[in-house]
Chain A
């Protein structure tokens, strides 16, 4: 296994990176996990429960044994299980707090049964629900982490409320899961593929990318985006696609991830494409040297799950190869940072 030096963040993969691979005929859970291991994309293994585990969250003992067996025989280490709080389960209303708590609690128990040390939820799981989950998390030894994903940034009110909760409770069993979608430096090139398929001209995509990159909060630029897109003749559906770029790609300074510590239980190494440039492997849309520096300075020794998401825009790239490239890049950056920080 490619492992980083002791005392550094550890690498890993979430099977979400392989969402398109999972659609291929003949591909099953066991073969996917085995291939992640064979390609040396561990040691950490994350998965989305509602994606990878049929029948979740009601797995019988035989199913639990089977999943554990697949992971154990791969030699990978369970890092995080992504679970969901489907507040919109019933038409016309959201889950009550009691229902939401129960919906998540069942899944935290499931994560423990499968041997995962962390369960990931989103910000739709409120601070009140998280506080109610704490005794269970503690009892099971499963940390519940809230993913901070675009469009959220450190300034977002729900993030401030979570920070206040985590500081007040000061427990290792609740915390943040930073996702690099919140701190990007450019909109990824892969969107051109998706936009072409949706009939959006490259000029319109380029205009959106440029407007995104201009200073100022993204939300303040929606009216300008809509005005310019309408002038260029974009349909309402196409404007929706352009707006999605502002929602899915956040512009927080990557240095700000330091403010989430020490309450970080896991990290999502979200990325949209690594390129082999003149200076070696680089990521045009995420500033990994800065992210690596923050994680090493904060003495983070948990997992960074490589989360390749350009499959949402394009099927032109091989997700396995992309994760491989990101691992090679990250290992180099983390080990280089370690020597700088140690000085």
Chain B
């Protein structure tokens, strides 16, 4: 039942650092927190277009990581229920209004016979930009 909570309905916004792209907030599809080294992938598809992992970053409680840093990050954790920020770059600025956002999370949980994780897709409305 955790899958439908992965993509947060609030907090979808454009990047505020001058780059084009956005931020979608995501939650762990598991009953407990896991070290970031066990987060194998958080795949993002925006409006049907996959965003390469190299163009995304992952932020938990203020700490930002590139996805190629996660495998060796054993001392920080994505907590259960915590809203992580998945920031992504796009070639073109995101248009105002609605976007289809799909997220698939892959987790490495040693005692489970199958790969862990989950997927969720929602139509999100871009938050109004502050000027």
Residues of A within 8 A of B (CB): 16, 19-20, 22-23, 48, 50-51, 54, 56, 84, 86-91, 94, 122-124, 194, 240, 244, 247, 311-315
Contact = CB atoms under 8 A, between A and B. Distances in A.
Among B27, B31, B71, B109, chain A packs the most CB atoms within 10 A around the CB of B31
Interface stretch (B12-20, B33-41, B48-56, B86-94): B33-41
B43 interface: no
Nearest to A90: B37
B62 interface: no
Nearest to A54: B79
A22 B80 contact: yes
Interface residues of B, number: 23
B1 interface: yes
B110 interface: yes
A48 B111 CA distance: 16
A79 B24 CA distance: 39
Majority-rule SS of A interface residues: loop
A319 B62 CA distance: 33
B65 interface: no
Contact of B33 (A16, A50, A313): A50
A72 B33 CA distance: 25
Contacts of A88: 38, 108-110
Contacts of B77: 50
A313 B37 CA distance: 27
B69 interface: no
B114 interface: yes
B interface SS class: loop
Interface in B61-115: 71, 74, 77, 79-81, 108-111, 113-114
Contact of B1 (A54, A194, A247): A194
Contacts, number: 61
Given A48-B31, A86-B35, A314 B1 contact: yes
Given A48-B31, A91-B71, A240-B114, 7 more contacts: A50-B32, A54-B79, A86-B109, A86-B110, A89-B110, A123-B111, A315-B1
Nearest to A24: B81
Given A50-B33, A84-B32, A89-B74, A124 B111 contact: yes
Nearest to A19: B31
A311 B37 contact: no
Interface string B1-22: 1000100000000000000000
Given A48-B32, A51-B32, A315-B1, A91 B113 contact: no
A16 B74 CA distance: 24
15 contacts: A22-B80, A22-B81, A23-B5, A23-B27, A23-B81, A50-B32, A50-B34, A51-B31, A87-B110, A89-B35, A89-B38, A90-B37, A90-B71, A91-B108, A124-B111
